[in-house]
Chains A and B, each alone.
Chain A
Amino acid sequence: AQSVTQLDSHVSVSEGTPVLLRCNYSSSYSPSLFWYVQHPNKGLQLLLKYTSAATLVKGINGFEAEFKKSETSFHLTKPSAHMSDAAEYFCVVKGMDSNYQLIWGAGTKLIIKP
């Protein structure tokens, strides 16, 4: 069975400093992994996805994530935070045994301090 754990419910960083949002997954198959972002009062938007190609995945708005099988992690990073990055971020895993089952993390709220 697949599962996903976002290790922090809230992360607070200063504008211009690096961002690290942590995600660990559990999967008995080679997973597909995603990060989605939800800005206040908006729908969810795909930031990036890993589907067994390059382990370092680049997404929109300067975000990237690295798939580390040995650590079962898929942490989301950005070198320099911007005020517009304030949002909630969801890590999602899709197992290869199903064509629909998406397992959502609980979300991490990113707060940007001016």
Chain B
Amino acid sequence: DAGVIQSPRHEVTEMGQEVTLRCKPISGHDYLFWYRQTMMRGLELLIYFNNNVPIDDSGMPEDRFSAKMPNASFSTLKIQPSEPRDSAVYFCASRGLNTGELFFGEGSRLTVL
């Protein structure tokens, strides 16, 4: 298996623009997680899905952030409009049922100017 695949790896955009980050989890994994990592706040869980259904989005910072999982092999995290304080590395991770082990993608580094 190729592991969790994220795209783009790097994104530089201007304030106010829409940003879409993409994730392909490991095949057969039931859970998908979106994390954000910054120097100031460390690793934060934004939202997670179980069987494509959002279970807990309490970590999503505000309405500008949205996440979808239209099928078992694809998820998106969208920021609209983006702001400089959204600059961070966004990680997607997946895991199977009844296991705590998360498999992470390599992250999408977002810079909002």
Q: Give the interface of A toward B (CB within 8 A).
A: 32, 34, 36, 41-46, 49, 51, 90, 92, 94, 99-100, 102, 104, 106-107
Contact = CB atoms under 8 A, between A and B. Distances in A.
Contacts of B56: 100
Contacts of A42: 106-107
Contacts of B91: 43-44
A109 to B, nearest CB: 11
A102 B104 contact: no
Interface residues of B, number: 22
B100 A32 contact: yes
Contacts of A51: 100
Contact of A49 (B31, B93, B100, B105): B100
Contacts, number: 42
10 contacts: A32-B100, A34-B101, A36-B102, A42-B106, A44-B102, A49-B101, A94-B100, A99-B98, A102-B102, A107-B43
B100 A102 contact: yes
Contacts of A44: 91, 93, 102, 104
B70 interface: no
Interface of B: 4, 31, 42-43, 45, 48, 50, 55-56, 91, 93, 97-98, 100-107, 109
A40 to B, nearest CB: 11
Contact of B100 (A34, A45, A104): A34
Contact of B55 (A36, A41, A46, A100): A100
